[in-house]
Chain A
Amino acid sequence: MFKIVKKELLVPNIYLMDIEAPRVAKSAQPGQFVIVKSDERGERVPLTICDYDQEKGTVTIVFQTVGRSTHEMANYEEGEAFQDFVGPLGRPSEFVHENLEELKNKKILFISGGVGAAPVYPQVKWLHENGIEADVIMGTRTRELLILEDKMRAVADNVYVTTDDGSYGFKGLVTEKFKELVEKEGKKYDVVVAIGPIIMMKFVALTTKPYGIKTIVSMNPLMVDGTGMCGACRVTIGEETKFACVDGPEFDGHLVKFDEAIRRQSMFKSEEGRELIRQEESNLEPHHHKNGGGCGCCGGNK
């Protein structure tokens, strides 16, 4: 059993939890994820790691309640425990293995959408701890849904917030902010890392392509085991089929077949709908998401 040592409602429907999982905390690196199964009957829900503390032996997850499983997880309180918590899964972000001196010469821009701020945070934090500053665009639908702003500002060089409704920061989409930074403010970036709803990642990749800026996205397909034994999470990268759980989750955004990935995410939509009705959840917004668990990477942006 894996004890919940802290639970916090960040904004409506988005929760942060610190889970006691010493083995996972010890091995975790930026870019990796975990799978959570709340009880005997639960499904295996993939969630990106938001933070980890080796000394306390805890791993921080942030998730949005989008379906039956994430709703059930949200019902757990501090002191209770999830039955299963496995990880870290997937490959760490590329820069973890890069030469730090070379990395220092690179200008990196992170773009997060909604809950995507959670997996972006440990990457920016890791860079910061290694003396590399990066910029971050944090996109959200409206000010009330913005998460982790203070934590992000503490580790990033510049943070630009965008809201769809203009209630805070830049009014508009993350892609528009990106263009403004590059076109009007003369910013130069060598790498863009985009994490958020798949549709956002698709448009970030389309936007950066003409500029020739290397763009990395973190894919959030359906998963079952997360260890490479089933292929539920397969994505097409260039001409190749890859398993996001072992080959990813991060891939070259200019090679990802986004339309296929979007279509595959909807595979169990009707089951998810049926589940929701059965659970009589009344306060749910319709969501583009899938079963397989709320990936947690996915926010309110678009």
Chain B
Amino acid sequence: MDKMKRVPVREQDPKVRSTNFDEVCLGYTVEDAVEESKRCLNCKNPLCVKGCPVSINIPEFIKHIKEEEFEEAAKTIAKYSSLPAVCGRVCPQETQCEGKCILGIKGEPVSIGKLERFVGDWSRENNINLSDTEPKKNKKVAVIGSGPSGLTCAGDLAKKGYDVTIFEALHEPGGVLVYGIPEFRLPKDTVVKTEIENIKKLGVKIETNVIVGRTANIDKLMEEEGFEAVFIGSGAGLPKFMGIPGENANGVSSANEFLTRVNLMKAHKIEYATPVKVGSKVAVVGGGNVAMDAARTALRLGAETHIVYRRSEEELPARVEEVHHAKEEGIIFDLLTNPVEILVDENGWVKGMKCVRMELGEPDASGRRSPRVIKDSEFIIDVDTVIMSLGTSPNPLISSTTKGLNVNKHGCIITEEETGKTSKGAVFAGGDAVTGAATVILAMEAGKKAAKAIDEFLSNKEK
């Protein structure tokens, strides 16, 4: 056994998994996990912890795995994170904890994500109780949005003894964890539901079907319902479109719409009423994780699927693991390609996409090489469905209905970085609502910081 190599994780065969929605990565067995945990050097000054946005004590939980004290491992993680089975699956560990692991210099870093996932899964399967909280404080905090930042903030505040209510606009809590990330990366009924149940076990109430800005608003929640502080974790759910001709044709949708139909509404299952339509050839425009999710979902619904991206493979913003999985499953990558028009047939349906070839110029201010159109390079991709995955921005509904809440020119809520404090007293915010579309773990970090700041704010208020 080569100590510099990680214990491989079991995965579904690409040929099989491209026809089902079951989880691609099967995770570590007990033996695998213990074996992998032995590679950890238990560093005195663990860099991995610095790479983790919520600073999980990684060497400690890994040591518990090594000693087969899985419940202790779960309790260690629970001090920092309420969503280990989620984060172990969807965090970009290569740029976070694992990216800092000292073993990664000469060999492969410890599979921290897979080990965290193992602990999360193990504690679910063994019904470990992680719901210890401090004595009740009898102070009400409202959390807007039940995505990763809201769940984390709510969980942390509940552990501190606050009376927390989450208000969620959709009919199911979880945010992007339920409507965005597909089942084959993040199982809903087992993983996501259980972790949300764990947060409820801390005493957090979740009211679904409440759209803050319409059904209720922040001022009224504070004045009429006695909430003493508010955390806004409403995310960035407003999809962008390109603004090219033909974009409103039948057969063009946003990735949000396509993924919501399949993930949240389960449109691919015949017994569910929501329909979904994919043609025989699908183009997904964009190169982020959402684009990979949409493409791999379309493939599983039986379509030949293309990723159309204006830069080269090197610049793809998606995780390397996801790009690799997508390729294994047979997604075709049309790189350095940019759509300029959706071609529409006489009935208003997509019949093709006119594109231009791109080349990369000098690096711009952001350090990325900016793409330029190659002259006279127009050509047509023969597709009948187009899914736009160009990113999202915060929905203006909350900011436009809350007096005194300042936003920047992108519609993102302006906050103090360390505390999540907004321009409005007793109102805090974090996650994509503040940063624009980012990652699950960064949203959790923001939720965590805000929970700490809200606790300080309400404790000082008392004095």
Contacts and interface: CB of A to CB of B under 8 A. Distances in A.
Nearest to B255: A230
A271 B275 contact: yes
B260 A229 contact: yes
Given A83-B171, A264-B248, A272-B275, A231 B256 contact: yes
B274 A43 contact: yes
B2 to A, nearest CB: 47
B260 A230 contact: yes
B400 to A, nearest CB: 10
A268 B277 contact: yes
B347 A227 contact: no
Contacts of B54: none
A44 B265 contact: yes
Contacts of A119: none
A123 B53 CA distance: 51
Given A84-B171, A224-B260, A229 B215 contact: no
A252 interface: no
A13 interface: no
A23 B261 CA distance: 26
B360 interface: no
B209 A241 contact: no
Contact of B273 (A68, A83, A228, A263): A68
A86 B257 contact: no
Contact of B272 (A23, A41, A87): A41
A86 B215 contact: yes
In this complex, which of A84, A267, A275 has the most chain B Cβ atoms within 10 angstroms of its Cβ? A267
Nearest to A228: B395
A23 B210 contact: yes
B237 A291 contact: no
B249 to A, nearest CB: 8
B463 interface: no
B208 interface: yes
Interface residues of B, number: 39
Given A231-B257, A263-B250, A86 B238 contact: no
A236 interface: yes
A35 B252 CA distance: 23
A86 B211 contact: yes
Contacts of A121: none
Given A69-B273, A267-B277, A291-B275, A228 B238 contact: yes
Interface in A224-239: 224-225, 227-232, 234, 236
A177 B96 CA distance: 69
Nearest to B168: A86
Contacts of A224: 257, 260-261, 265, 274
Contacts of A88: 214-215
17 contacts: A24-B215, A42-B273, A43-B274, A68-B273, A86-B169, A86-B215, A87-B214, A224-B261, A224-B265, A224-B274, A225-B170, A229-B239, A230-B260, A231-B256, A232-B253, A241-B243, A268-B275
Given A224-B261, A227-B211, A231-B257, 12 more contacts: A24-B215, A86-B171, A87-B215, A89-B214, A225-B169, A228-B397, A229-B179, A229-B237, A231-B253, A241-B248, A246-B395, A263-B348
